[in-house]
Chain A
Amino acid sequence: MEPETETEIEVETKAARGMAELVAIVEALIFVADEPITTKLLAEVLDEDRDAVEAAVSELQKEYEGRESGLQIREIAGGWQIATRTELHEEVRKFLKTRPSAKLSLPSLETLAVIAYKQPVTVPEILEIRGVQSASAIKTLLEKRLIVTRGHKETVGHPMQYGTSKEFLIQFGLKDLTELPSIEDFEDLAG
């Protein structure tokens, strides 16, 4: 569309593709990938520099935004994904005949929060913070693949350590763990 961008990137692309072409290919790959596809993988498959791929993705994002597309290109769990825009959820849901899936219970959410912020963390450490046994919550989270085991802690009894999974990032719409607000930001609520 914009000739200036095209020539600018053309120099950088290894495979002598035009920017418009690269944008189109990137769009196609993000679409067919059934989970978020990383810049690294895109670059490898296309034999391009990561910079060129990144430029193409952001070009694609701009294009979607520019024409107020029903779709968006989003960065999630360290990769790129094509998804519907949040505002359209009612119509999409009506068509798919789905309801929002069952939410996690309060104990499970709390346990997940502790694991997300304190990982790798052991069961006794979670108990210390929550003041209540979290065994069934941990089981639920493991079954939903939101958390994974992270080996044993080198301490008395060698308790199992837990951390969040890639599925956690996907289900909570996070690019990576650093996108979580700092735990200290929740402090002022106490007053």
Chain B
Amino acid sequence: MTPTRMEQEPLEQFTFDFNKETAEISTGSNDELKLKLGEFAGPLDLLLFLIRQEQANIFDIPVAKITDEYVKYVKLMKTLDISVAADFLVMAATLIEIKSKMLLPRDPMAPEEEEFEDPRRELVDRLLEYEKFKSAAGMLHEKTTIEQAVFQRGKIESDDSNAEINASVFDIITVFQKILLRHRDEIKMEIAREEISLSDMIRTLKRRIFEETELNVLAFFEEMQSKRELVTAFIAVLEIVRTESVKLTQKKTFGEIFLKAVTNGTGN
């Protein structure tokens, strides 16, 4: 940010001892490194680790040094056959770009009053933001660990018939596939008929849910006359769950799925 700091920065780059660093990385068995590398949750995580390791100030990152370290790690991940997520490479490119920007002297023609923007600024902001969520993830980890030391009573027989489970879209796809399979075996005479549109189907579906309060999805699919209608019905169900205050419920796991209007409030 201050011009003095900018003058110091390139100096640091040239005093960087590349060979010394290489030696340090290659110590330890490959397995050990693999484990350690696998621990990084993402490029920002790796970057934070490297900054810590260098005991560098996050607001004044020695970009050249950290970039070299970072690139070395990513290369190492490749040689160790760890599939390197594209995001790690994107970050490498970002770092190199910042590094090259910092090597450029400031435009002497630039007006004096113009605020000099540190090329590292955006990255620092992202790192700080990311670090908050990394800490929050740690907090969640602690909470769930504590929670695992608390036990509720064991399941009793009536539990399964009591509670309503929120069925997911995955459950409904399973049901749909079953019906589709059954329909395939039925031999039908093909009669040209007017196709029902998706919006019509949604309207029908809405009316049925409203009338019957609880609509059995399976039964609804079974009413369909053709495969095309069935697919339309399926899309209508997905659409209505997504956009309307309708939820999918099950009386028990793998039980029949019902569509139900959500009675006010937030639902889940």
Contact = CB atoms under 8 A, between A and B. Distances in A.
A165 B139 CA distance: 18
B263 interface: no
Given A113-B140, A172-B144, A190 B133 contact: no
A20 interface: no
A15 B65 CA distance: 75
Interface string B39-67: 10111110000000000001000000000
- How large, as a class, is the contact surface on chain A? 35 or more
A113 B162 CA distance: 32
Contacts of B103: none
A116 B140 contact: yes
Interface stretch (B29-37, B149-157, B191-199): B149-157
B242 A151 contact: yes
A66 interface: no
Contact of A113 (B136, B147, B149, B152): B136
A191 B127 CA distance: 13
B135 A174 contact: no
A118 to B, nearest CB: 9
Contact of B163 (A35, A107, A183, A186): A35
Contacts of A113: 133-134, 136-137, 139-140
B64 to A, nearest CB: 21
A181 B135 CA distance: 11
A84 B146 CA distance: 12
Given A130-B42, A132-B42, A181-B139, A145 B168 contact: yes
B246 to A, nearest CB: 12
Contacts of B86: 133
A97 interface: no
Contacts of B179: none
B166 interface: yes
28 contacts: A34-B156, A34-B159, A35-B163, A74-B150, A82-B152, A83-B151, A84-B150, A84-B152, A89-B151, A104-B144, A110-B137, A114-B133, A116-B140, A117-B133, A129-B133, A132-B88, A142-B168, A148-B166, A149-B242, A151-B242, A152-B242, A172-B143, A172-B144, A172-B147, A173-B144, A184-B132, A186-B135, A187-B128
Interface string A56-93: 00000000000000000010000001111110010010
The residue among B131, B135, B138 with the most chain A CB atoms within 10 A of its own CB is: B135
